[in-house]
Amino acid sequence: MLDDLRALQEEALGAVQAAADDAALDAVQSSFLGKSGKLPLILRAIGKLDPKERGPVGRAGNEAKQAIEAGLATRRAALIAAADADLADSEWVDATLPAPEGVQTGGRGGSIHPITALVRDLEDVFLSMGFETLDGPWVEDDHHNFGALNIPKDHPARDMQDTYWLTDGNLLRTHTSPVQIRAMADHKPPIRAVCLGRIFRNEELDTTHENTFHQCEGFFVDRDVSVGHMVYVLKTLLSEILGGEAEVRLRPSYFPFVEPGFEMDVMFRGDWMELLGCGMVHPYVLEAGGIDPNEFSGFAFGMGIDRLVMVRHGIEDIRHLMSGDLRFLSQFTGGLEG
């Protein structure tokens, strides 16, 4: 019987290697390991053997079963890998082509997400003013997200942002401001740059708060930069995005990485709307970025992209923006609405 088991194992593994698809493998599995398969049929005869022979035959039967099962798993994985490798040639789809004749689409096509549409418009405006668009990592270290921005470990400003801390001591960035520090370390003034990206805060979700949203962070560093330069740039930006000549006002505010700091309001549809924070880059932040604050100055600003999208489109619940709900997204055609 031991010889029969070895022959059966070799036969089964040969059939496994010859199988060309999942259906063939299923047939091999059923033929050799199924309830009425060849291996169970042999093992049922163990009870008729001499007691001294039962142990070795039983072990050999289990080993044969394990070898066949391993062979089946290996062959299935190889077939999947081969199929995946052929996808680029055999099953690729050109998403830019119209639907094939006879396929019903219901007249519905894709659309640009309203956040993506606004980001593209913001990028166009900034590029027209000579700003460079930058990006940075979503996973940040404490130094770039807090310390270099004049927010030491015991600073109360840390309580202003609920942070997602990771087990390795890093964190999900709570703002796009760390890009300032990285840009100043890699570039020499004059620097005109903007970062438009995703940020994360451990917020209690409601109609106006999300734990994942988007921010626009810009900064300008050069000799003799003043608040007047900042107001001109921001007014130009808002006039382009909101349409028409923007009326703005500054209110004193506190941000640890600027001094002085301001909130900028904009007149929109007959009301003052608080839109962004801004101010002159704090000398400590310039030093942390390797720039001499006695020689250079600069301004920085940041605003929530999601909030601006909500205002422009009359969206009452910020959670819609990250929901992936096609019923919501199908309302947008990709452009900004007045």
pLDDT in tens, 234-292: 999 988 887 778 888 999 999 888 999 999 988 877 888 888 999 999 999 999 889 99
For residues 73 and 60, the model is more confident at 73
Of 120 and 160, which is predicted with more confidence?
120
Share of the chain above pLDDT 90, in %: 35
CA distances (Å), 101 to each of 14, 98, 104, 105, 133, in order? 46, 9, 8, 10, 42
Confidence at 335, pLDDT banded by 50, 70, 90: very low
Angle, helices 51-90/2-18, rounded to nearest 10 degrees: 0
Q: What is the pLDDT of residue 312?
A: 78
pLDDT of residue 334: 43
With a CB cutoff of 8 Å and minimum separation 6, the contacts of 13 are: 67, 68, 71
pLDDT above 60 (res 199): yes
This prediction has a pTM of 0.63
Instruction: Please report the pLDDT score of residue 244 as a whole number.
Output: 78
Tens digits of residue pLDDT in 298-333: 999 999 898 888 877 888 888 888 888 888 888 876
Q: How many CA atoms lie within 13 A of 197 on its CB side?
A: 21
Q: Minimum mean pLDDT among 131-140, 149-158, 212-221: which range?
A: 149-158
* pLDDT value for 187: 87
Q: Which structural domains are found in the chain, ordered by start?
A: 2-90 (no CATH), 115-329 (3.30.930.10)
pLDDT at residue 157 greater than cutoff 70: no
Can you tell me the distance from the alpha carbon of 328 to that of 319, in angstroms, rounded to the nearest whole number? 11
pLDDT (tens digit, 9 = 90+) per residue, 290-306? Answer: 999 999 999 999 998 98
What is the pLDDT, as a whole number, of residue 159?
64
Q: Torsion over CA of 177, 180, 183 and 189, rounded to 10 degrees?
A: 160
User: What residue spans of 19-153 are helical by DSSP H?
Assistant: 22-33, 38-43, 51-90, 114-128, 142-145
Q: Residue 59 pLDDT more than 50? A: yes
Give tens-digit pLDDT for 67-120: 999 999 999 999 888 888 777 677 677 777 776 776 655 555 667 889 999 999
d(CA 258, CA 220): 13
